[in-house]
Structure 1
Amino acid sequence: MPEYDEQGPVDDELARQVAAALRQKADAAPKAARLASTARSRVHRRRQTVLVGGAAVVVALAIGGVWQLASPSFDTMTSGSADSGSAQPESKADQPTPPRDAKKSGTVCEPFHAIASATSITDIPVAIGLDLNTPVTGLTVCRYRMIEPNVRLSTALLGSAVLGPEQAQEVVDAIKPLPERNPDLPVFKCSPAQAKPKQAIVLRFDTATGLREVWVGYDGCSSPGFYTGKKTYGLYAAPLKLIAIGKARPDRGTFLGPLPGW
């Protein structure tokens, strides 16, 4: 028989095996492609998640950095203000004019005070007068104009000043040894209308038991001095200079001209 015919069955079997293998690979190819596509999709999604998360972190850091620049923390502001010498002080025009070492007194000068309408500066009520042996912790000096009956004003206050505890005690210590009258001052004879001063000063002292006052007379024709309600102390320049600060300083007064040392 011819050689071709003898080998035919073998070749056919081999051909069938090759065809089957090719079909198997062909059938498996779509599945593999689908698996590869799914894997690539998952990797792509993971990359997107990582990129979005990274972008969020970058944005958060960027926003945080801007916030730090725009709004420094309290500690940064505090330490910067305390340590830096470049902080601008308040304008002197906006600041009160407390004297020397003053710790501010808790009292204030009222627009109107009983002294403004009093018949005489000696009429200070005993209950509010200061015993000069009482320790004081602050002083507010209030200068008032005296108001005539039926006269309407928006305020009787002419000026004020605040003194600290040491200064307040210094004023008390300067008044305490004074005699009842200053013999170096003249004695005027005048009518009751002339006797009433045009202005006077109230010393408002802070004490452990509350507010206590001393009234100061330096104008008019009546006896000038410091009045506590229980005792009178003559007018002398030394204690008057301690309280004559800024707008609290008298701008007129019958007894200021002849007052020695003023």
Structure 2
Amino acid sequence: MPEHDPEQELGPKFTSALHNQAGVQNDLQTTGLAQEARRRVHRRRQTWAVAACAVLVAGAIGGVWSFAGGESPVATSNSDSSGDSKAAATNKPEGVAPSVQAQVGCPVDHPVLTAPGPDAVPAGTGLDLNTMVTGLRACRYGFAEGETGLLGQESFNAATAQQVVNEIKVLPERNAKLPVFKCAPQVSKPSEAIVLRFDTAAGIREIWVWYDGCESAGFFTGTHTYGLFSAPLKLFMTGSVRPSGGTYLDALKDW
């Protein structure tokens, strides 16, 4: 029977103890790594949550903040309001197209106020009645003391403007039914007259309308004279442009 050796019993015990200690160390190491991994994941989630909140806050005040620290060229509310203003400025009612004449209006200081007579339409400003017109502003001027200057004005669209031209262009030089007056120069001057300012492709062109005094009456372009008849007058003698009367108008009667 072999002799009992105590050292043989201690060897396996030491070996088992060493294995157990190594296992514990491995478990601890594994547990520590897992905890560290979970801690890092948690930190990443917190970081992304903070970044997302920052983006939402920046978006709410009209801008976008980049997580990298840069700025994004995003249009703010100021540019939006500018766009709305432009849209509002161009949002005109249908059928209303502002013409140059409508914007300018009737001149307060017009040559008709100092003209020596109805034929004194400045060169180059009279209307050739074969020209297409796109609008009309009728301007009524007074010459009487205390009423000198612009008395009234009315605007008309392209259709009415062309109709006025068409009615005038077929008239003779004189209305034979109107009386011929003989009067002194000091009383021959009319108390008022109307200037028809037409929009054309070449700019504003005019026809002067004389219907008072005792010198002459009719439609004057500077190069042609057309007699005073009621058909054209009815188209534009409205509103503030309609006279209360006139020497030739009183004789015409149906204006």
TM-score computed with the length of structure 1 as normaliser? 0.68
Shift, 1:104, TM fit: 5.3
Q: Does 1:106 align with 2:100?
A: yes
* Structure 1 residues 115 and 51: CA distance shift in structure 2, 3 A: same
**Whole-angstrom distance in 2 between the partners of 1:61 and 1:102:** 41
Instruction: Specify which of 157, 160, 174 is matched with residue 153 of structure 2.
Output: 160
Identity of aligned residues (%): 46
- Written as runs of structure 1 = structure 2, the 5 A alignment for 1:1-262 is 6=4, 8-52=6-50, 55=53, 105-107=99-101, 108=104, 109-146=106-143, 156-262=149-255
| CA displacement at 1:203 relative to structure 2 | 1.5
**Residues 138 and 206 of structure 1 are in contact (CA less than 8 Å); yes or no, is this contact kept in structure 2?**
yes
**Alpha-carbon deviation of 1:200?**
0.8
CA deviation map 1:27-83 (0-9, x unaligned)? 44543343123211222133334534655676688778xx99xx69x79xx8xxxxx
C-alpha contact (below 8 Å) 1:158/1:248 kept by paired residues: yes
State the distance in 1 between where 2:131 and 2:49 align.
78
Q: CA deviation at 1:158?
A: 2.2
- Equivalent residue number for residue 71 of structure 2: none
CA distance in 1: counterparts of 2:21 and 2:127, whole angstroms: 120
Q: In the alignment, is the contact (CA less than 8 A) between 1:103 and 1:164 conserved in 2?
A: no
Q: Which moved more, 1:161-170 or 1:219-228?
A: 161-170
Give the aligned residue type for 1:194.
V
- Tell me the alpha carbon deviations over residues 69-110 of structure 1, each in whole angstroms, 9 at most, x when there is no partner: xx69x79xx8xxxxxxxx9x97xxxxxxxxxx8865533421
Check whether the contact 1:105–1:163 (CA below 8 A) recurs between aligned residues: no
Q: Contact 2:141 / 2:193 at 8 angstroms: preserved in 1?
A: yes
SS at structure 2 position matched to 1:255:
helix
Instruction: Give the 3 Å change call, closer, same or farther, for CA 112–184 of structure 1 in structure 2.
Output: same
Q: Answer 1 or 2: higher relative contact order, Cα 8 Å, separation at least 6.
A: 1
TM-score using structure 2 length: 0.70
Cα distance, 1:243 vs. partner?
A: 1.7
Unaligned segments of structure 2, at least 5 residues? 63-75
What residue is the counterpart of 1:97 in the other structure? none
Q: How many residues align?
A: 229
Tell me the residue number matched to 1:94. none
Query: Which consecutive unaligned segments of at least 5 residues does structure 1 have?
Result: 79-86, 91-100
